[in-house]
Amino acid sequence: MFGFFKKKIKDVVDKFSKGAEEEEREDVEEKKPLLDKIKDEPVKKKKISEEEFPSKEELEEVLGEPKKKDEFEELIKQAEEEIEDVKKSLKEETNEEVKKEKKSLFKKFKEKITAKKISEEKFEKLFWDLEVALMENNVATEVIDKIKESLKMDLVDVLIKNVKKIVEKSLRDSLDTILEVPKLDIIEKIKKCKKEGRPCVFLILGYNGSGKSVSCAKLAYYLKKEGFKPILAAGDTFRAAGSIQLGEYGKKVNVPVIKTEGKADSCALIFDAVKSAKAKDYDVVIADTAGRIHSNTDLMDELKKIVKVNEPDLKILVLDALTGADVVEQCRQFDKSIGVDALIFTKIDAYEKAGGLLSATYILDKPIIFIGYGQQMGDLKLYDKEEIIKNLGF
């Protein structure tokens, strides 16, 4: 899962880090004599004379003559303040404590002068490789812009000690935001319908081959395990084998299927299924529909009729992850025509690029209730943002 994405991002993060290391900075080796004096001069008495501490001039000597000397003025000020604090604390300290304080002072000072900044120009050059990698993974422009904005804030003109660590953290934080979707509890939705004395109706939508029928059966299997009584409605009457296919899936999960032989009116069949479910005290009707694209006017009009007559509680769009970034446009078109309440992503186990999922979560702002990852009836997982981030390599 997401293998191509993980490899590409890892390579780019390494390249990003190495590129940042080449950013112009002061060489610590040139400062070593004075730094060694601060660190290693032996302490033989409790009190230390003023001469043993570096003066402002010496600190400036350590820093040399950088192109942007004003960038180091704050470092000088902080170092001087730390020296003053150490002076005060040394009055009553032992030799060992004095050594410890002096080493601490050196360490802090060295960390500051060896930190580096990445210029905006350098950042733009480095980000290009990451941008290309994200585009190769079908990540939408809006998502790339979000990642770039976050990285830029964390890296440009900020003193950094470990570029790779900061880049990885920034990317993870971006993914955390991108993968955040609205919550939808289908269990509570079913319980609410039961209180109203009627079955809950889930209408399953999607393109041809997206995995609607098997997702219907998987959903029925999941709800059975949760203690509910589901029934399936074979509303895909457009295909000759539509009813047969769902009927076979129904046998696998031991859930009844309302179907008809040959051509029939899909809207009427789903209506009868809802009526039968209410009479026989079923909790949920999961209605399959014919696969369609938004440009097929007849099928979209049929779908609008189904929605108007049967008033489903949830219109669930099944998206094939292998479709890539096009899932965004699919959802937009279905949403525009009839409205989409929630999403199921299928074939996620065979999906190497991750871009479609990232794009859909960030742009569509729809609840993702399940992830389908295999052919077995139990291969349906509740959407878990943290698990996705982990599988993405973070």
Tokens 């291969």 sit on residue: 379
For residue 113, the one-letter residue type is: I
Q: Give pLDDT, residue 278.
A: 93
114-138 residue pLDDT tens = 456 778 888 888 888 888 888 888 8
- Helices then strands, counting H and E runs in the chain, come out as 16, 8
Confidence of residue 79 (pLDDT cuts 50, 70, 90): low
Tokens 């995995």 sit on residue: 211
256-313 residue pLDDT tens = 999 887 677 889 999 999 999 999 999 999 999 888 776 677 778 888 999 999 999 9
335-365 residue pLDDT tens = 888 899 999 999 888 777 777 888 888 888 8
Beta-bridge mates of residue 356 = none
167-214 residue pLDDT tens = 888 888 988 998 999 999 999 999 999 999 999 999 999 888 888 899
Q: How many CB atoms lie within 10 A of CB 301?
A: 11
Please tell me the total number of residues recorded for the chain in this structure.
394
Quick check: 295 and 183 in contact, CB under 8 A? no
Q: Tell me if domain 3-23+118-178 and domain 186-391 are identical in fold.
A: no
Q: How far apart are CA 25 and CA 81, in angstroms?
A: 24
For the entire predicted model, the pTM comes to 0.73
Quick check: 271 and 261 in contact, CB under 8 A? no
Q: How far apart are CA 385 and CA 202, in angstroms?
A: 24
Mean pLDDT of 316-326: 86
Cβ-based neighbours of 179, under 8 Å, separated by 6 or more: 358, 361, 362, 385, 388, 389
Cβ-based neighbours of 330, under 8 Å, separated by 6 or more: 206, 207, 294, 317, 319, 323
Locate 267 and state its tokens.
Answer: 């809207």
Sorted by where each begins, the domain ranges of the chain are 3-23+118-178, 28-114, 186-391
CATH of domain 3-23+118-178: 1.20.120.140
CATH of domain 186-391: 3.40.50.300
